[in-house]
Structure 1
């Protein structure tokens, strides 16, 4: 038997005001698109904004459906849209903001497992990390230098 130890590091900002102007702009785009989420069932709204290498910001919000598996998370909405409309432009950063219609979310909320897998695919495709910023509706913001940082044991093309 061999013990495996993993170490990961995140940065925590106490509020949006601690972020750089560029990161504030990206997170503000995530917050604004979060307000457009279609979440009549969960009442949990998520917005994602992706900064592309050319400076373009692509956004997406969660879109629910009465047939629950048919909906799509904000992160995948944004990343698939970026991949479809800007297939040869690298994704630099993704900002995610989540809120609830029934309570105030102040804890940073990271992507779900399915979204982590989708982001991982694009990190692998472009052979470079996608920096992540995530928060609740207000409060602290967590920064991760890459998806691999939050998903060290991952499934990718090398697993096939």
Structure 2
């Protein structure tokens, strides 16, 4: 018998005055990171900031390479650094912002497929969702409660 699988995904939208204190700090750190992005080929600069359960905040940016596949996204850069140095501290919130070098406004951006799968890996490791917040051009934060809202059919250990 044929079945149909329906999933509902949703994002919450938060105005600036609704942001939590830690979200304000994360956005500011991500903005600083954007300005240091190495994006000479695409001119699309991405910054990410990560809050760990231990209260530490880290930021990173995209790092392009003329051999395009060897570049790294801001999200994976910050998660890799944090998990390499604080492997037992759970990631709590991840903020992502982006803009084209010449633009004055922020671009709405979500994590790419590789980054989504990387976020999924850490959610599995810690058994807890990571809030993902994305800044849009209107200055609002789009909040996903976990990677399942951005990657509903993610690749997991199918036997686990």
TM-score, normalisation: structure 2 = 0.92
Matched, 1:131 2:119: no
Partner of 1:148: 148
CA contact (8 A) 1:17 1:24 kept: no
SS at the partner of 1:148?
helix
State the distance in 2 between where 1:99 and 1:135 align: 10
**Moved beyond 6 Å, runs of 4+:** none
Partner of 1:6: 7
Partner of 2:110: 110
Which consecutive residues of structure 1, in runs of 5 or more, have no partner in the other structure? none
Taking the TM superposition and a 5 Å limit, the aligned residue runs for 1:8-157 are: 8-14=9-15, 16-136=16-136, 139-157=139-157
Q: Residues 38-74 of structure 1, C-alpha deviation per residue, up to 9 Å, x if partnerless?
A: 0000000001111000100011100001111111000
Shift of 1:150: 1.2
State the distance in 2 between where 1:107 and 1:85 align: 30
Shift of 1:22: 1.6
Cα RMSD (Å) of the superposition? 1.7
Which consecutive residues of structure 2, in runs of 5 or more, have no partner in the other structure? none
Q: Identify if the C-alpha distance between structure 1 residues 138 and 43 changes in structure 2 by more than 3 Å, giving closer, same or farther.
A: farther
Q: What is the total number of aligned residue pairs between the two structures?
A: 159
Q: Identify if the C-alpha distance between structure 1 residues 101 and 107 changes in structure 2 by more than 3 Å, giving closer, same or farther.
A: closer
